[in-house]
Structure 1
Amino acid sequence: MLAPFLILFVMFYIVPVLSSIALSFTYYNMLQPPRWIGLANYRVLFLEDDIFLIALKNTFAFAIVTGPLSYFLSFFFAWVINNLRFSNAFALAFYAPSITSSVALAVVWTYIFSADRYGLINKVLIDYGMIDRPIIWLANPNYMLYVVMFVSLWMSMGAGFLVFLAGLRNVPADLYEAGDIDGIRNKFQQMWLITLPMMKPQLLFGAVMAIVASFAVFDIAVALTGMPSANYAAHTIVAHLYDYAFIRFELGYASAISVVLFLLTFTLGRISMRIFSSKDE
């Protein structure tokens, strides 16, 4: 009964990962057979590719800010919505941006952050006298990464948010009643002493999803700031991977980038499993 899942998992996950690892040690341009070059791709990646180092710095900055924030906000809003009437309607409103096309959302946010005085952000700032000339949000290297972070946080109420909401609804009500009898005085104590310990599987899933999403940022960054962005200020690891894989067709080098990204997300995922795994498991 496990065979269908295992076969598909091996075909579409294990085999591609192993193939990428093998190709990362070769020079492969799709026109010629792969040629073994050892660690040359990794040496170039970390010692000679300045753009990759910029992408690595941008991705880490993005992940450090949006990863924990999106994780906390997903749980917080799920907890608040779970205590409201018409919670399903609120959940749909929060979840909708995460399933909307990045290109469609980019059209909306490009208008909001438009560089002229008719852009909504610039108009508000000018009307209140906070600035005297429009700010070029999506082309100024000083601002564009922060704009991408903001929009990504707005889109972050995805699968993790739904899992948190489902976990909150599955906590047995009699535990809360027992907690009230034992002296729990408010909702925050209830959440800390009862809800969080009962939601460790959901918290683990949400942490892994937040890590993967924060390191895999690409679509919205490219849609808002272009490919490549000015001075590579919003260039990410996935954008660098896309550049070498689908524009330059240097698949061996692109595979080395993908292996580095895989190791980063895998390591952080294992750390999350250590943090959220139950001691009795």
Structure 2
Amino acid sequence: MLTNQTITRRKSRRSFSKIWKEHGAKYLLIMPFAILFIVFTVIPVLASMIISFTSFNMLEAPSFVGFRNYINLIVNDDVFLIAVKNTLFFALITGPISYLMCFVFSWLINELTPKVRAIMTLVFYAPSISGNAYLIWKLIFSSDMYGYANSWLLRLGFITEPILFFDKKEYVFPILILVQLWLSLGVSFLAFVAGLQNVDKTLYEAGSIDGIKNRWQELWYITLPSMRPQLLFGAVMQITASFSVSQLSIELAGFPSVEYSGHTILTHLHDYGFIRYEMGYASAIATILFFTMLFTNIIVQKALRRVGA
């Protein structure tokens, strides 16, 4: 007589074989990516979380210290608190603005002819992949009279001597925000352009019959709901970009920046991970940043799912 456990096992085997027959080819196609994702993303993240509870200098075996790294970060590390404030403020400004910029520019470009649209897409996307982007802004905000900004301001009579842009705290952060916004038309921008191209044109005809009278109503009731996957993807990319500013600050403001005015969580991680080799402490910083980005992504995606609903 068969037991309930045996019957359950047989049913599960049949269901697994049935699923594999129906979707086995799909699983095989995604398997290489899944393996790479697990090996190079999931496992390192989990390892970082474990190491965050240790003291590890890469020369000696890790020693368990419990929550000491996290306590030191929050209680004793004043520079980390400055980095958190800068990062949150930076993300609060550049995240929403860059997201809107990506959508607005893609929406405007979508109205152009195909050839002009392709050229304009390349023009807007080029800064995000330019390897010399930092060099351009270094030339513009150079602290001598030969910098373009100082040269124009001196010529127009607004100043009498060159401004030391990256040596004064009040100038560093606005410049970093400006450059980050200039670099922000990247993958999200391309995703929005592609999403706008794939909106079913018959929906606009049906909408006009149902009472939609202007472009704003078309945008809210047809375009945005049809682009929800691209909107969610763009949100993830822009949030990630706004929280992960490091190289920009190091290249323009130096490391460390004056009075830590351009210091972010990621530059703090760079300091402890790649300069001091305090990997346990650096892993604690990375874990806090990871959960901050995860929490922000969840909130933003829940809000975007209500668009056009």
Distance 2:213 2:112 in 1: 20
Within the alignment, does 1:256 sit opposite 2:278 as a pair? Answer: no
Stretches of structure 1 that go unaligned for 5 or more consecutive residues are: none
| Bigger Rg, structure 1 or 2 | 2
In the other structure, the counterpart of 1:68 is: 96
Distance 1:181 1:188 in 2: 16
- The letter of the residue matching 2:269 is L
Residues 156-208 of structure 1 show CA distances to partners (whole Å, capped at 9, x for unaligned) of 00000000110011001111122233443332222122111111111111111
In the other structure, the counterpart of 1:242 is: 270
In the other structure, the counterpart of 1:207 is: 235
Within the alignment, does 1:87 sit opposite 2:117 as a pair? Answer: yes
Instruction: Give RMSD over aligned pairs.
Output: 1.5
Within the alignment, does 1:6 sit opposite 2:6 as a pair? Answer: no
Cα distance, 1:129 vs structure 2: 2.5
In the other structure, the counterpart of 1:186 is: 214
In the other structure, the counterpart of 1:116 is: 144
Distance 2:257 2:94 in 1: 19
User: How many residues are aligned here?
Assistant: 278
Report the more deviating stretch, 21-30 or 119-128.
119-128
- The letter of the residue matching 2:278 is E
Report the more deviating stretch, 126-135 or 77-86.
126-135
In the other structure, the counterpart of 1:149 is: 177
- The letter of the residue matching 1:88 is A
Q: Determine if contact 1:201/1:276 at 8 Å carries over to the other structure.
A: no
Distance 1:200 1:251 in 2: 39
Instruction: Tell me the percent identity.
Output: 48
Stretches of structure 2 that go unaligned for 5 or more consecutive residues are: 1-27
One of 163, 167, 176 as aligned partner of 1:135: 163
Partner of 1:32, secondary structure, is coil
In the other structure, the counterpart of 2:129 is: 99
- The letter of the residue matching 1:200 is R
Distance 2:45 2:122 in 1: 35
One of 23, 28, 48 as aligned partner of 2:56: 28
Partner of 1:138, secondary structure, is helix
Cα distance, 1:124 vs structure 2: 2.0
Cα distance, 1:136 vs structure 2: 1.3
Cα distance, 1:138 vs structure 2: 1.8
In the other structure, the counterpart of 1:270 is: 298
Bigger RCO (CA 8 Å, 6+ sep): 1
Q: Determine if contact 1:145/1:233 at 8 Å carries over to the other structure.
A: yes
Cα distance, 1:276 vs structure 2: 2.3
Cα distance, 1:148 vs structure 2: 0.8
Cα distance, 1:125 vs structure 2: 2.1
Distance 1:185 1:117 in 2: 55
Within the alignment, does 1:166 sit opposite 2:200 as a pair? Answer: no
Within the alignment, does 1:231 sit opposite 2:273 as a pair? Answer: no
Report the more deviating stretch, 45-54 or 270-279.
270-279
Distance 1:136 1:186 in 2: 49
Distance 2:232 2:279 in 1: 33
- Per the alignment, do residues 126 and 81 of structure 1 end up closer, same or farther by CA in structure 2, a change over 3 Å counting? same
Could you list the structure 1 runs, at least 4 aligned residues long, displaced by more than 4 angstroms after superposition.
none
In the other structure, the counterpart of 2:25 is: none
- Per the alignment, do residues 191 and 53 of structure 1 end up closer, same or farther by CA in structure 2, a change over 3 Å counting? same
Partner of 1:266, secondary structure, is helix
Residues 19-56 of structure 1 show CA distances to partners (whole Å, capped at 9, x for unaligned) of 00000000000010000000000000000001111111
Report the more deviating stretch, 127-136 or 85-94.
127-136
One of 54, 61, 84 as aligned partner of 1:56: 84
Partner of 1:142, secondary structure, is helix
Report the more deviating stretch, 13-22 or 266-275.
266-275
More helix by share: 2
In the other structure, the counterpart of 2:16 is: none
- The letter of the residue matching 2:129 is I
Cα distance, 1:118 vs structure 2: 2.2
Distance 1:182 1:122 in 2: 57
- The letter of the residue matching 1:174 is T
TM-score when normalising by structure 2: 0.87
